[in-house]
Structure 1
Amino acid sequence: MKKKTLGFVHTSATLVPIFQELSQQHIPNVDTFNIADDSLIKDVIKRGEMTAGTARRVVEHVGSAAAAGADYILVTCSSIGKAVETAATLTNVPVLRVDQPMADKAVASGKRIGVIATLPTTLEPTADLVRRRAEVAGKEIELTETLCEGAFEALMGGDAATHDQKVSVALKALSKEVDVILLAQASMARVVETLSPEDRKTPILASPGIAMEYLKGVLGD
């Protein structure tokens, strides 16, 4: 039987080793390849939204992954999620936005759902996705959105400690208000490891591992 191939589309090359490691854990018998274009996310951050031109290039990258022989395509950035959904309607192989399995898991986990991000351009698409997945599931939810002001700028400026401290404070506060928390950016996941067991009683979900668990069910032997 022909081995399946999973194509990744990234908006940062730093995500390549993270998803390669997850692939080895969850789908070791599936071939993978990567397309990375950080100009996509830089444009979204610069303009404060995803423009039609950027969305078109997302669709083109997904098309390139299909042309390269992918049996399934995973796009690993939440900020371009709407363009990924458009690409899925134009591509002859399945296309998944990285945060959809996480959103579905959150909707199944509780009514009071918190979404946390360091960028407004990531917070809005993730919160929108959670609302729409709740509608699909026929479930009423209460959504709380938290933006960690200044955390992303600190990280980009090389001050990871300030980024982590701001995210940690926000996570602790949000955990007291909701049943489950979604990390809109996988870059925040490392902060979760520094929290005390008391502060981690509320489940905190990160998209990469959950997406790969989902793909294991789809692509695994």
Structure 2
Amino acid sequence: MTKTLGLIHTSATLVEVFARLCGEHLPGVETFNIVDDSLIKNTIAAGRLTPSTARRVSGHIASAEAAGADHILVTCSSIGAAVEAAEPLTGVPVTRVDRPMADRAVALGPRIGVLATLSTTLEPTADLVRRRAQAAGREIGLTARVCEGAFEALMGGDAATHDTRVAGALAELGGEVDVIVLAQASMARVAGTAEAGVPILASPPLAMEYLACAI
């Protein structure tokens, strides 16, 4: 029986990214997308994930289940807490996109760097890494930084400026840690081209590797 993956995005720019990855890693799995960019816009405006936005995330997850998803992937790290809150209420597995990446980072080294282009994503990702390290029984040191202006450049259509700023921040952070976590799926475009001297982990491909075994 063919399985179906429902993907929930807060940016339309990620639909194509995950469509390509699903084709590579989940060739026999059907997919559909739910996109609501107001989730991230409201989170940025409030400076945090609000209860009302969290309820709407839960609603989208319920809609994906009702639409026939056998597994649900939420591709935005900023709303990760809402994803985890919705998991026990959902009858199918739900994965927040950065969980497999956090587990890989914990396994690679004790000094972990987290780089984000949004402050609203930095703390949720850092918190996830800390909790996954605790669950694995590992002691870690965490260095978290925001790459200012990169997200705004990408949303404004200036991908080159985004990539240049992220690459520069990666090179600087690489001298201080054993592994770097890119806090947002939108940053994955830089992972294969930037040099940091340490492993650079992006959530989309690692989430797909996880789902290839889980679905």
Q: Does TM-score exceed 0.5, indicating one fold?
A: yes
TM-score (normalizing by structure 2): 0.96
Distance in 2 (CA, whole Å) between partners of 1:105 and 1:39 is 30
Structure 1, residues 189-218: CA drift from partner, whole Å, max 9, x if none? 2233433xxx34300000000000000011
Structure 1 alignment gaps of length 5 or more: none
- CA-CA distance at 1:159 after TM superposition: 3.5
Report if aligned partners of 2:188, 2:204 keep a CA contact under 8 Å in 1: no
Q: Distance in 1 between matches of 2:5 and 2:161?
A: 36
**Does 2:70 match 1:71?**
yes
User: 2: distance between equivalents of 1:193 and 1:30?
Assistant: 26
Identical counterparts, % of pairs: 67
> What are the Cα deviations for residues 44-84 of structure 1, in whole angstroms up to 9, with x where unaligned?
01111111000000000000111111111000000000000
Which residue number in structure 2 is paired with residue 113 of structure 1?
112
Q: How many equivalent residue pairs?
A: 215
Task: Please name the residue that 1:170 is paired with.
Answer: 169
The list of structure 1 runs, each at least 4 consecutive aligned residues, that deviate by more than 4 angstroms after superposition, is none
Say what the alpha-carbon RMSD is for the aligned residues.
1.2
Distance 1:40 1:150 in 2: 20
How far did residue 173 of structure 1 move?
A: 0.8
Q: What secondary structure sits across from 1:12 in the alignment?
A: coil
1:18 aligns with: 17
Query: Hey, what's the Cα distance between the residues in 2 that align with 1:11 and 1:161?
Result: 21
Q: Which residue of structure 2 lines up, in the alignment, with residue 210 of structure 1? A: 206
Between the aligned partners of 1:218 and 1:162, the Cα distance in structure 2 is 36
What's the TM-score once normalised by structure 1's chain length?
A: 0.93
Amino acid across the alignment from 1:72: H
Q: What is aligned with 2:53?
A: 54
The residue identity in structure 2 corresponding to 1:212 is M
- Hey, what does 2:132 align to over in structure 1? 133
8 A Cα contact 2:188 2:203, kept in partner: no
> Does the alignment pair 1:83 with 2:118?
no
Distance in 2 between residues matched to 1:145 and 1:177, nearest whole Å: 11
